[in-house]
Amino acid sequence: MSNLRIGWIGLGKMGIPMAKNLIEKGFSLVVYNRTKEKSAELVELGAKLADSVAELSAEVNIVISMISDDDALKSTALGDAGVLQNAKPGTIFIDMSTVSPKASAEVAEKADEYDIPYLRAPVSGSTVVAAAALLTIFASGPRKAYETSTPLFEVMGKALFHVGEGEEARYLKLTLNMMVGTTAAMVGEALVFGEKGGMDWNQMIEIIDASVVASPLVNYKTEALKQRDFAPAFTASQMGKDFDLALDTARQNDTPIPLTSQIRQNWSAMKAQGMGEQYFFAYVTLLEKLAGIEQ
């Protein structure tokens, strides 16, 4: 692995700490981001800055992308200036973004034509978890490419899984985000119900966290809820985007997901109330407004 050059595309909230962990473990990185200023920290640590996706792809053995959505994946991977047409045959392409199975399958079809092993490897965890290299990483795609890439995943995460040869990882990522978003909605409704009944806010949260309905996620959010700290690690708008991906995929597969559909409306309501860039657990504050509770 020490002889490999890694290309990293996408230096957002998650991409920067993940790429930084690779550099700090001695991997040689070439990086690209549409906003070049975001690459400054990694360049200072020794990364080389590429001027384009095409330039980066031609220089490296493994390309990793951590980008925003379906359109970003397709523009990064496909076309004359994309990864697949400019990478050398055999170069492994790993996309760690949250995108739809449909868009991912389009990339997979083209990757086969170019003899580029393609791994779908989304992650579970926040920016704090990414910085601490404690992500859960689940990949689907060619097993041999996964095994080759495992040393990279071990630098970024603590729990690694190969979940299939196709789009399984895409479905799993959307499954997890559906459950996380639904948990935020459930907790929000319950807290507002108890608040309306006169419960002490902090005590109510402590009791929930000590009860049978507690979970690692609820426990992780306990202090943030007590402090009403809704700093945007992952926003309501982003959660709405992921719910849309799940709903579109379910519609294509004729899979009923009525709770997801209903909760999706309130991500839109948060955006309409100017709350779209708040942390998605601020869902509770939307319901407080609807219940006439002033803070």
What is the structure's pLDDT at 3?
77
What is the structure's pLDDT at 2?
60
Task: Tell me the average confidence (pLDDT) per consecutive run of 10 residues in the chain, 295 residues long.
Answer: 87 97 96 95 97 98 97 97 98 98 98 98 95 98 98 98 98 98 98 98 98 95 95 93 98 98 98 96 97 92
What is the structure's pLDDT at 176?
98
Enter the CATH code of domain 171-290.
Answer: 1.10.1040.10
Other C-beta atoms closer than 10 Å to the C-beta of 78 total: 16
List pLDDT tens digits, range 138-181: 999 999 999 999 999 999 999 999 999 999 999 999 999 999 99
What is the structure's pLDDT at 232?
86
Residue ranges of domains in the chain: 5-165, 171-290
What is the structure's pLDDT at 187?
98
What is the structure's pLDDT at 233?
84
List pLDDT tens digits, range 181-209: 999 999 999 999 999 999 999 999 999 99
Confirm whether 5-165 and 171-290 share one CATH topology: no
What is the structure's pLDDT at 4?
87
Domain 5-165 has CATH 3.40.50.720: yes
